[in-house]
Amino acid sequence: MQLIPVTSPRVLPDFVACYSARLPGGEGRRHFAAGRECASRAIEQLLGAPSPDALPRGPAGEPVWPAGLTGSITHTGDFVAAAVARSSAARGLGLDAEHIVSPERAARVASIVMQPGEARLGPQTVSDALRVTLLFSIKEAVFKCLYPLVLTRFYYVALVVTGLDFDQGIFHAELALPLPGGFPSGYPLTGRFQIEGSRLYSGVCLPGVTA
């Protein structure tokens, strides 16, 4: 499989290993295989040795990481990336990449993605398409981070983004609904985002016991 390494987005802490690549013509099953390959290379970066086994799939299709590790995989268009950390440093990781949607699509999905008040986040110069895509990406990253810990599907209404700092690339959010595993309503989450042309990235990390 042809993977062309590219610079990884800086949306996760430095102790997280991230491998990003461009997959020419990548789509469908090739995306899946490329994501697993990026995960293997990220694990090799982190541990200094290749991953011994392919990542199996969990009951919801999520990657099952080797013992002692946690991670996240994302892909959009020809971009594929994986992030991996030791479980002692991170309880959970969420990484998401998205292409900024068209104004027409943003108008169609805004009521699904956004909670009341989120439409006013960020400066007035931010387009609705960028805001909707960013909120979608943040909520996807949080889902990827929390799902392995709560093992319960939750949707956009379960998370409220309370702040977007476009100067620092930082977001603040909190759970609007309680989730299993010790995540009550109001549980705070902070992460980072990065915008590059027509693509944006979001990342969130729950620190582990030794982070």
| Mean pLDDT, all residues of the chain | 93
Whether 90 contacts 98, CB under 8 Å:
no
Q: Is the per-residue pLDDT at 107 higher than 60?
A: yes
**Structure-model confidence comparison of residues 168 and 57, the more confident one:** 168
For residues 87 and 166, state if they share a domain: no
For residues 43 and 75, state if they share a domain: yes
Q: Residue 72, Cα to own-chain centre: how many angstroms?
A: 7
Per-residue confidence band for 59, with pLDDT thresholds at 50, 70 and 90: confident
Q: Is the per-residue pLDDT at 29 higher than 90?
A: no
For residues 75 and 170, state if they share a domain: no
Task: Tell me what pLDDT residue 18 has.
Answer: 98
Domain range for 13 is 4-95
Task: Tell me what pLDDT residue 25 has.
Answer: 72
Task: Tell me what pLDDT residue 54 has.
Answer: 76
Per-residue confidence band for 31, with pLDDT thresholds at 50, 70 and 90: confident
For residues 65 and 104, state if they share a domain: no
Average pLDDT over residues 117-123: 94
Per the structure, the count of domains in the chain is 2
For residues 185 and 201, state if they share a domain: yes
Task: Tell me what pLDDT residue 38 has.
Answer: 94
